[in-house]
């Protein structure tokens, strides 16, 4: 991975201005067993609630580094303004981080400015393309964990976030992709894979989070199987507690 020039301690690549504006939505990660919010994930949105895709579609290679930094700063600022007390989960692209210590400076500065605790930040590794340098991504994870952050591997089980990454990385959390979660209440193949993941996570001392939970049946099966942390459109509903106990 090439080194990048620094300006006042920052990565020079992160100084490019963005030609568009964006905001964040916050989706809860729910501890279903205890009926409480475990954390919130910051999700990119347009200023008028346009989709994440509409924003990401404007991010060119040249703007990737600055966008990654802007997302971190925006998420922490907005979470602080909203008075959030739970950990905040922020996505990042490993290929947008040239040097962990340099590229984290804006995050450290905004956290200090708004009083957001370091141990209340979770960084989610999001891969939209094949990892180019596995040692580089390991260095990022190791650096972040040494700074007191938690690290999660997003979309686990599909695409480029596959099982072999765990031979190199030691994430604190694994976020199980929706493709493995959907219909888990009656799909015996998905049930077998999820049960295997539960055993593996226990042996690796990592925590599982089920993504894309959209029905009470899925949520109930996951809870009974032992996956307490869940995220998805179903979970913020007011009927959550009553539905799961029926």
User: Can you tell me the distance from the alpha carbon of 142 to that of 146, in angstroms, rounded to the nearest whole number?
Assistant: 6
Residue 214: burial class (beta carbons within 10 Å; 0-12, 13-18, 19+): middle
What tens digit of pLDDT does each residue of 74-93 get? 999 999 999 999 999 999 88
Inside any domain, residue 186: yes
Contacts of 119 (CB under 8 A, 6+ apart): 148, 149, 150
What pLDDT is stored for residue 245 in this prediction? 44
Nearest to 27 by CA among 102, 105, 79: 79
Q: Stretch 233-244: mean pLDDT, rounded?
A: 56
The percent of residues above 70 in pLDDT, for the chain, comes to 85
What pLDDT is stored for residue 95 in this prediction? 79
- Secondary structure class of 222 (helix, strand, coil): helix
Q: Stretch 162-168: mean pLDDT, rounded?
A: 83
What is the domain-level CATH number for residue 52?
3.20.20.450
Res 184 pLDDT > 80 = yes
Res 234 pLDDT > 90 = no
Could you tell me the pLDDT band of residue 15, with boundaries at 50, 70 and 90? low
Buried b (16+ CB within 10 A) or exposed e, 86-111: ebbbbbbbbbbbbbbebbbbbbeebb
Q: Kindly report the number of other CB atoms within 10 A of residue 161's CB atom.
A: 22
Q: Is the pTM of this model over 0.85?
A: yes
Strand partners, 150: 122
What tens digit of pLDDT does each residue of 54-75 get? 999 999 988 988 999 999 999 9
What pLDDT is stored for residue 228 in this prediction? 96
| Structural domain count, the chain | 1
Query: Domain range spanning residue 220?
Result: 6-245
Inside any domain, residue 72: yes
Inside any domain, residue 161: yes
Q: Stretch 205-229: mean pLDDT, rounded?
A: 96
Q: Stretch 11-26: mean pLDDT, rounded?
A: 77
Nearest to 103 by CA among 136, 79, 127, 132: 136
Inside any domain, residue 1: no
Q: Share the mean pLDDT of the chain.
A: 86
User: Can you tell me the distance from the alpha carbon of 44 to that of 46, in angstroms, rounded to the nearest whole number?
Assistant: 7
What pLDDT is stored for residue 239 in this prediction? 46
């Amino acid at each position: 991975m090439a080194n990048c020039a620094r300006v006042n301690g920052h990565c020079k690549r992160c100084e490019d201005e963005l030609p568009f504006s964006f905001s964040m939505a916050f989706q809860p990660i729910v501890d279903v067993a205890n009926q409480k919010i475990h954390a919130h994930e910051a999700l990119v949105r347009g200023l008028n609630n346009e989709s994440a895709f509409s924003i990401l579609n404007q991010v060119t290679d040249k703007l990737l580094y600055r966008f990654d930094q802007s997302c971190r700063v925006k998420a922490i600022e907005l979470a602080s303004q909203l008075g959030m007390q739970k950990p905040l989960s922020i996505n990042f692209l490993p290929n947008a981080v040239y040097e962990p210590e340099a590229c984290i400076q804006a995050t450290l500065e905004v956290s200090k400015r708004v009083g957001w605790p370091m141990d209340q930040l979770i960084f989610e590794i999001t891969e939209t393309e094949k990892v180019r340098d596995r040692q580089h991504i390991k260095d990022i994870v190791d650096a972040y964990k040494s700074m007191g952050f938690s690290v999660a591997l997003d979309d686990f089980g599909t695409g480029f976030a596959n099982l072999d990454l765990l031979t190199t990385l030691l994430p604190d959390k694994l976020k199980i992709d929706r493709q493995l979660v959907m219909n888990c209440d009656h799909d015996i193949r998905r049930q077998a894979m999820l049960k295997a993941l539960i055993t593996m996570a226990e042996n690796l001392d990592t925590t599982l989070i089920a993504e894309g939970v959209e029905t009470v049946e899925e949520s109930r099966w996951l809870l009974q199987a032992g996956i307490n942390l869940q995220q998805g459109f179903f979970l913020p509903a007011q009927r959550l507690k009553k539905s799961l106990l029926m």
